[in-house]
């Protein structure tokens, strides 16, 4: 069974945090802003839980709390979970492929757009990048005093994200000139 990035994020969460039910997995991932760095959504999380359980990577455990719905199942990683995660992390596609960013796709198609739309979209992109850079810089400040290897990793990943966003921001004027034919 090929594990998707969402499957691996769910599996990793359970390996790190221990037995949880789907809602708790979703809460943990929301608290860590997982959607900023992985393709996860609540429906994907529940799909991954069922897929991982069917594949033998998760086991259902008894929940000591009263049932809060028919789908509430607490899962824990099986003995196959960590080896499966490690095997998936060794795949070549992690280091050889980057998914196309929606903005890059837009830019490639924008030669067909009118100048006013192109300029408006580029300004919106600049505003979005500026906002995200500010948010990530605030996150970095909050992480500065956090101890542990996971916090150190988070700091590196946030700095990488800021660098990518700044690089994108730095090229918006070049895109505007090329897409609109401006020579200024």
pLDDT tens for 8-47 read 999 999 999 999 999 999 999 998 888 888 889 999 999 9
For residue 160, what pLDDT band results from cuts at 50, 70 and 90?
very high
Q: Is 132 exposed, middle or buried (CB count within 10 Å of its CB: 0-12, 13-18, 19+)?
A: middle
- For 12, residues 6+ apart whose C-beta sits below 8 A from its C-beta are 85
- Give the containing element (helix H, strand E) for 75: strand 74-77
- For 3, residues 6+ apart whose C-beta sits below 8 A from its C-beta are 11, 52, 84, 85, 88
For residue 184, what pLDDT band results from cuts at 50, 70 and 90?
low
Q: What does the angle CA 73 – CA 79 – CA 85 come to, to the nearest 5 degrees?
A: 90
Query: Would you say residue 67 has pLDDT above 60?
Result: no
- For 124, residues 6+ apart whose C-beta sits below 8 A from its C-beta are none
For residue 63, what pLDDT band results from cuts at 50, 70 and 90?
low
pLDDT of residue 6: 94
Q: Is 38 exposed, middle or buried (CB count within 10 Å of its CB: 0-12, 13-18, 19+)?
A: middle
DSSP state of 20: E
């Amino acid at each position: 069974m090929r594990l998707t990035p969402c499957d691996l994020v769910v599996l990793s969460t359970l390996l790190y945090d221990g037995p949880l039910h789907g809602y708790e997995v979703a809460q943990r991932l929301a608290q860590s802003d997982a959607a900023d760095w992985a393709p996860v959504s609540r429906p994907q999380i529940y799909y991954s839980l069922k897929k991982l359980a069917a594949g033998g990577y998760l086991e259902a455990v008894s929940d000591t709390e009263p049932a809060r719905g028919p789908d509430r199942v607490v899962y824990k990683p099986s003995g196959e979970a960590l080896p499966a995660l490690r095997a998936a992390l060794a795949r070549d596609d992690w280091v050889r492929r980057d998914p196309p960013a929606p903005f890059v796709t837009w830019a490639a198609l924008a030669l067909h757009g009118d100048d006013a739309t192109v300029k408006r979209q580029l300004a919106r992109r600049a505003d979005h990048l500026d906002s995200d850079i500010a948010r990530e810089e605030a996150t970095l400040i909050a992480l500065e005093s956090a101890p542990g290897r996971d916090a150190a990793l988070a700091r590196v990943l946030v700095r990488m994200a800021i660098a990518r966003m700044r690089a994108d921001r730095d090229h918006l004027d070049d895109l505007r000139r090329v897409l609109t034919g401006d020579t200024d």
